[in-house]
Amino acid sequence: MLSQKVVLTAPNGMHARPAGELVKLVKSLDGKILFATPAKQVAASSILALLSLGLKCGTEIEISADGGSEQENLQRVVAFVESIKE
Amino acid sequence: MKRLTATVRASEGIAIGRAFVVERGEVVAEPPQGSVEQEQQRFEEALRSSVEQIDALTAVNDVFAAHLEMVQDDMLRESVEAYIGDGASATEAVRRACDDIVAMFEGLDDEYLRERADDVKDVCSRLVANLVGDVRNPFEGLRDGDIIVDNLLTPSDMALVALDKVAGFVTREGGATAHVCIIARNHSIAAVVGLHEVLDCVKQGDLLVVDGGEGVVIVEPDEQTLAEYRMRRDRYAEVRERESASSHERIYDGERFIPVMANAGNVDEVRRAISLGADGIGLFRSEFLYMESAEEPSEEQQYEAYAAAAAACGELPLTIRTLDVGGDKAISWLPFPKEDNPFLGWRAIRVSLELRDMFRRQLRAILRASTAGRVRVMFPMITSVEELREAKLLLDECRVELDMQGIPFAEKVEVGVMIETPAAVFIAPALAAECDFFSIGTNDLTQYVMAADRGNAKVASLCDPYAAAVVEAVRQTIVAAEQSDTECCMCGEFASDSAATQLLIDCGLREFSVNISSVGKIKHRLQEILSK
């Protein structure tokens, strides 16, 4: 399992639209992706679970890739999270 | 007469009309109709229908793409299946699962994210409607000029409402970022949300006054109040109309034409701006092409987009700003190094001058698009004459290349510089001597002049374009431009602020590029000022 910490810079936090896109991306990967905050850890393939983390602008998230091409999966998810601008 | 006040500002405007109180069929708790397996089966069917319905709505609004994920979410499904396994009917199971998820969201400490509970409710009520076979349109019987009153208006509801008929919206739940507020603002419809006592005070067909700007709803107003609000409504409509009438005017200061152009981020926005009366596009942000795609957009893709935008402008100028990334704007496929001070880091022209092949592809695409209209090119974040020269040299190299390949481009493509750093202000006379136009970017200029990060709440008040130092920087830029006959436009937020128009005219500004929705407002303000 590979992990990386990312600070969410999207001004509106992880809201419905980007979360929907993120879930789509995660589902297309060949391994599992987990999102963790100090409070809890969830599978990023569930939009409800993701939104329930309440990720605001400035929240630090630990993203983990488990199984499959971990390195590439992790990189793609991290790049997506960093690219959310709305 | 009863007066209700909300603390949330939803959508400005004044509406007077009859209340259309939406009647929602109350779903009663029912015992299971069949075995656990049969209830599971019913849920699966309702889910399939819901997915189909939501899928068809994704074309209406992006938010439904997220709903599509929600309705098929494992968390929802597992919870529903567990309740059915415990002996609940499918309908009851969906309602309980919904309550659980909503409760989880309502515990969040961020208003926007908390309000996503509304999306969950929307998705679950669609599932329930499909389960009980209630597929009627809750807005049947809506008359022209009615004011819709409801507990909550979800994206699914708003997709059913005939917006040209509705005079206003009032809801019991919801905050400023609720979907209904966004739609109401986009269509200039008055709305008040978060009015807790509204359903207790308003009956079907009651006469209502809705003042969205003040967050006030008056139920069954007396004659005097009604007369007063009718006047206010008409005055508000008049101002709106004057502004939209102004939007197609050409504004003159004596003999001199004062263009009010618009800022646009994609081809659709260019079309909208031109149809609304903008005198051209003063800032076309090319970033969208780079951010929307999974890799660098090819020269061909860029050419097509720029040419379409140029064609949409017709005779009017299209000012394309070359790639402006870095700072707060990242691109997923372009690896940016971690920086301690991204706003003082590798961004905009600094990126382009390093990734030269990518920059060349963009410049070639821009040059080629110049045959489709009046294309101008503008470089962001310039801090020295050398940077401008280097960028112009690359542009010339591209011209030679295209020429040799026999690919056409316009003879004259004007070159401009964004004035958004204090450095550019200091050397404005030297820059003016080597380019055709300036465009003052007040958002970045303000934060660089004031050394205050606009995203940092503690110092955001310093980040004020009205600050004496910023106004002086603007004035110096305009003076430098005038002395060498270089055009000078302003494309930052400040240009869209009608309270600043007089100040900018006094500073000598004679060219504006504003938000699309502000074109009419700024033209109207200019007419007021210049007719004095």
Using DSSP's 3-state secondary structure scheme, residue B24 falls into coil
SS (H, E, C) B488-527: EEECCHHHHCCCCHHHHHHCCCCCEEECHHHHHHHHHHHH
B254-416+493-530 homologous superfamily = Phosphoenolpyruvate-binding domains (3.20.20.60)
Return d(Cα B1, Cα B87) in angstroms, integer. 49
Q: Residue by residue, what is the 3-state secondary structure of A33-76?
A: EEEECCCCEEECCCHHHHHHCCCCCCCEEEEEEECCCHHHHHHH
Q: If one looks up domain B36-132 in CATH, what number appears?
A: 1.10.274.10
Q: Which of B281-285, B342-346, B368-372, B446-450 shows the lowest per-residue confidence on average (mean pLDDT)?
A: B342-346
Q: Which of B134-148, B228-242, B377-391 has the highest mean pLDDT?
A: B377-391
Percent of chain B with pLDDT over 90: 64
Domain boundaries, given as residue ranges, for chain B: 2-20+144-223, 36-132, 254-416+493-530
Phi, psi dihedral angles at B156 (to 5 degrees): -60, -40
- Check residue B291 and give its pLDDT: 79
- Which residues of chain B neighbour A49 with C-beta distances below 8 Å? 73, 75
* Section B178-182 average pLDDT: 80
Q: What confidence score (pLDDT) does residue B26 get?
A: 65
Decide if A12 and B66 are in contact by the 8 Å CB cutoff.
Answer: no
CA–CA gap between residue B497 and residue B499 (Å, rounded)? 5
Question: Is residue B213 over pLDDT 90?
Answer: no
Q: Is the pLDDT of residue B109 over 80?
A: no
* Residue A70: pLDDT band with limits 50, 70, 90: very high
At CA B462, angle to CA B455 and CA B262, rounded to 5?
65
Candidate list B98, B124, B179, B463, residue with the active-site label: B179
Whether the Cβ atoms of residue B513 and residue B263 lie closer than 8 Å to each other: yes
Q: How far is CA B142 from the centre of its chain?
A: 29
CB-based contact B191:B38 (threshold 8 Å)? no
Q: Do B254-416+493-530 and B2-20+144-223 fall under one CATH topology? A: no
pLDDT at B34: 83
Would you say B202 and B149 are in contact if contact means Cβ atoms under 8 Å apart?
Answer: yes
What's chain A's average pLDDT?
89
Residue B68, min C-alpha distance to chain A (Å): 8
Average pLDDT score, chain B: 91
The minimal CB distance from A54 to the residues B108, B119, B329 is found for B108
Q: Does residue B83 carry a pLDDT above 90? A: yes
Written as six digits, the tokens of B319 are 């000012």
pLDDT value at residue B350:
96
The confidence score (pLDDT) of residue B438 equals: 98
Active site residue A15: yes
Q: How far is A7 from chain B (nearest CA, A)?
A: 12
CATH number for the segment(s) B2-20+144-223? 3.50.30.10
For tokens 């801090």, what's the residue? B383
- Reported as a single tens digit per residue, the pLDDT across B17-54 is 999 999 886 666 677 778 899 999 999 999 999 999 99
Kindly report the nearest CA distance between residue B285 and chain A, in angstroms. 15
- pLDDT of B328 > 70? The answer is no
Cross-chain CB nearest to A46 (options B62, B75, B104) = B75
- Kindly list the residues from chain A whose CB atom is less than 8 angstroms away from the CB atom of residue B77: none
Q: Name the residue among B113, B120, B331 with its Cβ closest to that of A15.
A: B113
Q: Supply φ then ψ for residue B203, to 5 degrees.
A: -105, 160
Residue A62: is it exposed, middle or buried by C-beta count within 10 angstroms (0-12/13-18/19+)? middle
> What does the block give as tokens for B524?
């109207």
Strand bridging mode A60-66 / A2-7: antiparallel
Residues B251-271 pLDDT 10s: 999 999 999 999 998 888 899
pLDDT reading at B186 higher than 90: no
ipTM above 0.95, yes or no: no
Q: How many Cβ pairs within 8 Å bridge chains A and B?
A: 73
Catalytic residue among A15, A31, A47, A51: A15
Give the whole-angstrom CA distance, residue B65 versus residue B55: 7
**pLDDT average, residue stretch B114-142:** 86
B412 residue type, one letter: K
pLDDT digits (tens, 9 = 90+) for A14-33: 888 889 889 999 999 999 99
pLDDT > 70: percent of chain B: 97
pLDDT more than 90, % of chain A: 56
pLDDT at position B12 is 87
Nearest neighbour of A12 by CB, restricted to B70, B76, B112: B112
Give yes or no for residue B532 having a pLDDT over 80: no
* pLDDT (tens digit per residue) in B476-498: 999 999 999 999 999 988 998 89
pLDDT, residue B27, reads 61
CB contact under 8 A, A15 and B112: yes
Distance CA B19, CA B2 (A): 14
